[in-house]
Amino acid sequence: MRSPDGEICPGVCHVIYLGVMSHRFLIALFALPLLAQVSFQKSEGRINIEINGKPFSALYISGEGVRKPYLHPLRAASGTIVTRQWPMVADVPGESHDHPHHRGLWFDHGDVNGVDFWGSDPSAKKDSGARIVVKKIREMKGGKKQGVLAGDFDWEEKDGKVLIHEARTMVFYAAPDRRVMDFDIKLTMAEAVKFGDTKEGSFGIRLSDKIREQKGTGKMVNAQGAVGEKNVWGKPSEWVDYSGTIDGEPVGIAILDHPSNPRHPAHWHVRAYGLFAANIFGLHDFYNDKSKDGSMEVKPGGTLRFRYRVVIHAGDTAAANIAAEYAKYSAVK
């Protein structure tokens, strides 16, 4: 029997050789997770997300002030935080302190059978007490090119009555120069549900103050080429991109509305102060026309499915070629 260095040795070398091989196997085994470019780690009340070995975000699922699952913070590939950190982080110099229910990235609606899920927050003046409760994390699987995080949530009134069962799947991609996330959200009605006509909804992000349009460096652009809140807010569009500079770094965030979504293309509740949301229900607000009714009634057991892609990119809308990103996403079945 030859040892690992090629010399012939007695029987005891068998043990040495096997020991060396076992050691090599263990090193390889422990190295395997390092190959995964998207990884998840559970922590108290949240699931941390890393991409390419660097922190990206965390899904907050329980704890003080958590009335709905939300992702916070969101980071560009460079590591720059592109979302407002307040109220989760209280002492960031110069950050605005309005709308405490705007937490990172979230999905809900402001009028579900008259119940306000959008504005529900312990510090809100008119707190509905409604909450979206995480019942189960069904999948938490990292990978070299992408990672999948999926869970089941219940939309509950203050007294615990369930209105909607939600099944959400989030896919995070390990692109080297941008951060891309896909959201697949299926709502199943626990009883008859009416989504009321209000601008307060639904798939939302609160951007860093530094890239907001108002008193910041930001510029919002939609798929039709319209620029600025006056021309983008409330308008239907396949996508909207909001970009600016953070400490000299050009960066932007785009939300893409999948063509299979109800009432596609979405209308956009996107504000100069940094709110950025896709909303299909708020027509009388968006058109300032009380004769329009964007509400939707769904029978018990009925379903709605929403799909969105979020792209956090370097540069402005043109440099990131968001139109091409949308063409790729719209082809996804």
CATH of the domain spanning 39-330, picked from 2.70.98, 2.115.10, 1.10.150, 1.10.3470: 2.70.98
Cα gap 105→207, rounded to integer Å: 9
> What letter represents residue 8's amino acid?
I
Alpha helices in the chain (DSSP H): 12-35, 229-232, 283-286, 317-320, 322-330
- 3-class DSSP assignment, residue 225: coil
Cα gap 153→169, rounded to integer Å: 11
Cα gap 323→154, rounded to integer Å: 35
Q: What is the pTM of this model?
A: 0.89
Strand residues in the chain grouped as ranges (E): 38-43, 46-51, 54-60, 70-72, 105-109, 131-141, 146-156, 162-173, 179-189, 193-195, 201-206, 219-222, 239-246, 249-257, 267-270, 275-279, 296-298, 303-314
Could you tell me if 206 and 276 are in contact, meaning their C-beta atoms sit under 8 angstroms apart? yes
Which residue in 86, 119, 51, 81 sits closest to 253, CA to CA?
81
Cα gap 250→124, rounded to integer Å: 34
Q: Each residue's pLDDT tens digit in the chain (333 positions)?
A: 333 333 444 444 443 333 434 444 343 334 444 455 999 999 999 999 999 999 999 999 999 899 999 999 999 999 999 999 999 999 999 999 999 999 999 999 999 999 999 999 998 888 999 999 999 999 999 999 999 999 999 999 999 999 999 999 999 999 999 999 999 999 999 999 999 999 999 999 999 999 999 999 999 999 999 999 999 999 999 999 999 999 999 999 999 999 999 999 999 999 999 999 999 999 999 999 999 999 999 999 999 999 999 999 999 999 999 999 999 999 999
Domain residue extents for the chain: 1-35, 39-330
